[in-house]
Amino acid sequence: MTTPKLELTDVHKRFGANRVLDGFDLSVGRGESVVVLGGSGTGKSVMLKCILGLLHPEAGSIKVDGEETVGIGQRERDRINRQIGMLFQGAALFDSLPVWENVAFGLLAQKRCGRRSARDRAVEILGQVGLGERIADLYPAELSGGMRKRVGLARAVATRPAIMFFDEPTTGLDPIMSDVINNLICSSVKDLGATALSITHDIASARKIADRVAMIYQGRIIWAGAVAEMDQVDNPYVDQFIHGRAEGPITSGMAG
C-alpha cells in the first residue's frame, strides 16, 4: 500500500472544556479528492488548521507524505506548507493589497516570477474563477462576498500546490458560479494531479467534486465511503444530513 498524502490518526483538539476533535481519523490518498461533511461548529475548519499547523492538537498524529508534522519546527513547517494551498472560510484576503497581488502572493513570496509575469498569471487565474481583468486592480473591500471567496480560491490554486484545502468553496455563490468552481476543483485534481480536501455543506457540490466523502460528528469521523455509496448508506446520521431533515439523531444546534 502506498503512503497516503495526508493521514490524521486519533487527533484530539479542545478549547477549554470544548472537545472539538476527539479521536479524529482521516486519510486522503495521492490525487484523491475527499469532502468532509458535518454540521456547523463540529470542528471542520479546526481540522484544516491543525493540518496547516495554525492550531496545535493536544494528541494524535498528522502525517503529510508520510512525514509527521505535529510538533515540528518552523523551518520544516514552512517547507511542508509550501506545497499546500488553502482557501479560508472567510477568504482572508489581504486588505492592503489589490486583488491581483493577493492572487499572486504565493508566487511572489516564493520568488517564482517577477511582478509583471505574476500579474499576468493572476489575471489568467482570475479568469478561471469567472472574474474579469477589471477587478484585478480593485481592493478586497470593494468586492462582494462571493467575489472575495473566488479571489481566495484563485489565491489558493495560484502556485499549483500539490495539496489543496477548500473551506466551503461554494458558500455564498449562485448555482451557476458554484458549478464553475466545482469544475475548477475537479480539473485541479484530475489534470494537475493535486490532492484535495474540501469542506462543504453543499451536497450537490460534494457529489460533483468528491471521490470520497467523510462525515464528522462529535469530533470524529462517523462514516466515510465513496461518493456513490452516500445514498445507500444506512447510517441515520448521514441520511439525515444529506437529506437535510430537522428530525433525526442529530439534534439541531446542540451538536457537540
Partner 1 sequence: MPVLQPIGRMFLSFLEATGRLTLFTLVSLSHCVRPPFYPRLIGRQMLEIGYFSLPVVGLTAIFTGMVLALQSHTGFSRFSAEGAVATVVVLSITRELGPVLAGLMVAGRIGAAMAAEIGTMRVTEQIDALTTLSTNPYKYLVAPRLIAGVTMLPLLVLVADSIGVFGGYLIGVYRLDFNPASYLTRTWEYLEIMDVVSGVVKAAVYGFIIALMGCYHGYHSTGGAQGVGGATTNAVVSASILILTFNYVITALFFSS
Ligand X SMILES: Nc1ncnc2c1ncn2[C@@H]1O[C@H](COP(=O)(O)OP(=O)(O)OP(=O)(O)O)[C@@H](O)[C@H]1O
- Minimum distance, C-beta of residue 134 to partner 1, in the bound complex (Å): 24
Is residue 8 a contact partner of residue 61, using CB atoms and an 8 Å limit? yes
Min dist CB 1 to ligand X, Å, is: 30
Asked if 171 is part of the footprint of ligand X (rule: CB under 6 A), the reply reads no
Q: What is the CA radius of gyration of the chain?
A: 18
What is the per-residue burial (b if ≥16 Cβ within 10 Å, else e) of 46-77? bbbbbbbbebebeebebbbbeeebbeeeeeee
Rounded Cα distance, 11 and 41, in Å: 17
Count of all residues that appear for the chain in the document: 256
| CB atoms near residue 94 (< 10 Å) | 13
Strand partners, 197: 34, 165
Instruction: Please report which helix (H) or strand (E) contains residue 203, including its range.
Output: helix 203-209
Interface with partner 1 by CB under 8 A: which residues? 49, 52-54, 74, 78, 81-82, 84-86, 88, 90, 92-96, 105-106, 109-110, 155
Residue carrying the nine cell digits 479528492: 33
| 232 interacts with ligand X by CB under 6 A | no
Q: Where along the sequence are the contacts to Mg ion (CB under 5 A)? A: 45, 89
Is 83 one of the binding residues for ligand X (CB under 6 A)? no
Residue 43's binding partner among Mg ion, partner 1, ligand X, none (Cβ under 5 to 8 angstroms by kind) is ligand X
111: number of Cβ within 10 Å: 7
The stretch near ligand X (CB under 6 A) out of 41-49, 109-117, 190-198, 203-211 is 41-49
Residue 88 site contact among Mg ion, ligand X, partner 1, none (CB < 5 to 8 Å, cut-off depends on kind): partner 1
Asked if residue 252 binds ligand X (CB under 6 A), the reply is no
| Contact residue for ligand X among 6, 28, 35, 46 (CB under 6 A) | 46
For the CB of residue 200, give the shortest distance to partner 1 in the complex, in Å.
18
Among positions 6, 8, 11, 20, the unique one binding ligand X when judged by CB under 6 A: 20
CB of 168 to partner 1, least distance (A): 13
